[in-house]
Amino acid sequence: MKEKEVGKNLRSVMKEVAKPRYVCEKCARAAREKKNLCKPVRIIVSGS
């Protein structure tokens, strides 16, 4: 993979992490996947 590609990929990864879809109501953790949390609550994101 080219350095440019890695940077691009890294940014997309960071974006994913920065924008979790769910938060845990019990332990206040955030994740993209519902299954990673014990009490997931959907985050409502306005815009894109």
Give the interface with Zn ion as residue ranges (CB under 5 A): 24, 26-27, 38
Nearer to Zn ion, 24 or 30 (CB): 24
Q: What is the smallest separation between the CB atom of 7 and Zn ion, expressed in angstroms?
A: 33
21: exposed, middle or buried (Cβ count in 10 Å: 0-12, 13-18, 19+) = middle
- What is the residue whose two structure tokens read 């953790």? 29
Residue number, 8 or 25, with CB nearest to Zn ion:
25
In the complex, least distance from residue 18 CB atom to Zn ion, rounded to whole angstroms: 20
